[in-house]
Structure 1
Amino acid sequence: MRAPAQPRRRTPRSTTPSAPAAAAGRELPARTGAPARARSSTVTRARATEKEQARLNRSEEREQRRAQRRSRHAEAADGALQGATQRASGANRGAQLSERIAERRSAVRRLRWRGIAAALAAVLVVAGLSWLVLASPVLVVHAEDVVVTGTSEYIEEEQIQEIAAVAHEVPVARVDTGGVAEEIRELSAVRDVQIRRSWPNGLEIALEPRVPVATVSDGDRYALLDAEAVVMVRRDEPVDGVPQVTVPLDDPDTAESLTAVLTVLAALPEDIQAEVSSAGAETPYQVRLELTDGDEVVWGSAEENTLKVEVFRTLRQVEASTYDLSAPRSPITTE
């Protein structure tokens, strides 16, 4: 068998330089020292320059940052100033607006109070006037201030004053003029009446009396009639100056004839009516008039009365005993 191999020992290398090399090393610095120092000086200056440049750059940056900060501070100050100015302006405008609003509200309140005061004053005035007119004793009707006009011999003023006495001492505005007028119209001799308030204490009563046109026998008395056949008054004797009618009163068979006679008499002028002593009609178309001198007028119907009056005036100038006007365009006279 082979004997086991022995391990190989490694011989350590010497770290000590050889003599030539050492000599060379000692000689090298001698040959390269000057350039190295030059390069080192250059590097040092370059580094110093770089450091200086870096310092300058940092200084510029610091100055820029300071300038930026100053600019920002200035802008902030300007902004703050503008904001303060705007706030002050806004506050001023707000104050002015508040003053205007306050003034407007004050004006509205004044107008409102003035309106309320005016309304209250108007209410008080109306209430005072209402009391003065409707309840005050200052504006009541006085008996001596009631004036009556339009009376006739068939309407006595005392009758009217007696009826109007219901208004005495009553406020003029509260007088029932319609009620007083209706009561006066119930008088047979009154055709119509108008009542007007006469301030401050009176009444004016204007009568429209009925005008008598005929007297009709009514039993043992005589009824005085107007043109509408209304009995105005009854008398014991015939009324002078008023024609007597021979047509019976209150007879349905002769009512139309009576109406025709009264219509003719009402159409006569006063001077011709004064010449008529009596009138009658057997039918509504046969009205006859008897004059005070005994002459007779055949009037006919109650139509064309105006024309017949004119014709009669003309024919009256001719002496005759009978005047026939039944055909007024062809009148006839008889002696």
Structure 2
Amino acid sequence: MSRTHFESWQDSPPGEDASTLDHVHVHPVPASRRRKLFLRLASMSADRALAPFRIRRLLFMFAALVLAIAVLGAALAILNSPLLDISRVEVEGAHVVSAASVKQLAGVKGQHVLLADLEAARQRIRALPMVKEVEISRDWPNGIKVAIVERAPWGRWRANDTVWAIDSEGIVLEGPAPAYDGPIVTQVSALPAIAAGAQVDTTALQMANELHRRGAPLPLPAVLSYEWSLVDGLVVVTEHGRIVFGGADGLDFKYTVWALLEEEAQGRGEPLLFADLRFGLRPSVEIGLNLGRGVLNREPHTAHFADNTESPSREASSAAASTR
């Protein structure tokens, strides 16, 4: 930028009137310089206007920092306070299950109430055979509350000469099974191994209860017991023989076929010794007098008798042909 010259009367020789000097030159301030000056003045004004806001912001940040430090200190004090160590465990809903066992399995006594792993404690208690549901909550300031729902006997399952109580989910319960009018399902296969906490086939129990409710299709022969195995499923043992139902599919149809077979056998004056109803319209059937002999075999496709005499005749009912 060229140098600005400003000559006025102050530069004129003595004795001369400055107004008469025609060589006075006035150079205006360039626009860019005026703009810079304006912006500088505006910036100074803005800084003065924002100064209180900046001070308030700094004060707020300082207060927030002090508060955060105070909260952190309080949290550390709480975490290290022995007043929040768990000193009591309350158990609700324990009637058959030992409350002492529940407290021991919880394993939270002496731990900090905020740091104790309640989910792990719940899983340990849930593993008890008689416990169906568990809820654990903190009981401030230094306690834990455990609420359990015990399993209730729903059916009876005989295995290894022991009658076990079974709940509605098929879980084998501890202790002797309560006496009631419902049927007992006898497991005749070695597997699954039965012990408290094991699970059995609830479908077989449901079928036995339903068949027990309906009763035998005819007044005779009477139903003696219900058996279950991995191979055959549910088997109804009557005074004359064995009726294999298998699974629960088509229960009504199987019951109807059983009734027809009993009617045909009695119409011939012979007992229904065996019927496997798992094959739909083609059940495996054995009808005969079988005098002086008892069926010992539990397999669905063969029959074995106590003596060496010839096995009875095998005939299909009028509603189903024999598959033997």
In terms of fraction of residues, the more helix-rich structure is 1
Q: What TM-score, normalized to structure 1?
A: 0.47
